Amino acid sequence: MESLRWILLAAGIVFVIVIYFLGRNRRQRKQSMIDELDDDLPAFSAQSLDDVDEGVGQVRIITSNDSQIDDDIESLNVTADTGQQAATQNAADNNAADSNALNDIIVLYILPKPDAILAGAQINSSAQAMGLRFGEMNIFHYMDGTRSVFSLANMLEPGSFDADTIHDLKTTGLTVFMQIRAGDPLDDLTEMLQRSYQLAGLLDARLCNHKREPLTEQDAENYRTQVSNFVAAKARVETAELSSET
């Protein structure tokens, strides 16, 4: 009887050891699978779309006084026409840092996949989910207090949305644009890039550059260079003006 107890005790110890090693191997296999998935993630790094949020971010409400849209943008044709003009001007020079240095408008496009269209109802709900609000000039704006960071318009003329019929709207694309302004324009660009990227995802569409080609990491870096060059050029002009006054 005593030997039976020792045999059962030894068997129990062996069983516990086996369970321990099986569990350890399972955890190692799970970690290995996670590492492999990480290796397959898209190469669109946080340097291009800095720390893209998983949620919709903070929602800002536009009031009737939120009208701080630059006077330079006087008509909605700027949403499509300015973007096309910028693309035409920049196409002559492949060096984005030089060609964009004095261009203060950045334009992106959200285009549907081939043989698809964008529906107004989905545009409305997706834009609001990303913190944009319908307002000035009958287009959508992402606001920082009373200041417009960037705007979203219909790519088709006249560029505006009719609040009464937007749910019946069908369009072949959207224009996202921002004007480089004082303050933190690089932060504004980052906000525009990541929210436009997420908005395109909600619409099952493609985020494209000013040439209407899929946006790449290099494009994002070029836009950053454009902002930095414009700010630097503007600072030089202001310094020269102050020097001439003195």
At 98-108, the pLDDT tens digits run 444 458 999 99
**pTM for the predicted model, two decimal places:** 0.60
pLDDT tens across 218-243, in order? 999 999 999 999 999 888 888 888 88
Both 150 and 220 in one domain: the answer is yes
The reply to whether 87 and 179 lie within a common domain is yes
- Residue positions counted in the chain: 246
Boundaries of domain holding 115 = 77-245
Both 13 and 101 in one domain: the answer is no
Name the 3-class secondary structure at 204: coil
pLDDT at 1: 58
Are 123 and 201 members of one domain?
yes
pLDDT confidence of residue 69: 39
> What pLDDT, on the 0 to 100 scale, is given for residue 86?
43
The band of 3, judged by pLDDT with boundaries at 50, 70 and 90, is: low
> What is the full DSSP assignment across 29-82?
HHHHHHHHHHHTS-S--TTTSTT--SS--------TT--B--TT--STHIIIII
Residues 35 and 88 in one domain: no
Partnered with residue 110 across adjacent β-strands are 174, 207
Do 30 and 90 belong together in one domain?
no
Confidence at residue 236, expressed as pLDDT on a 0 to 100 scale: 87
Locus of tokens 């009031």: 63
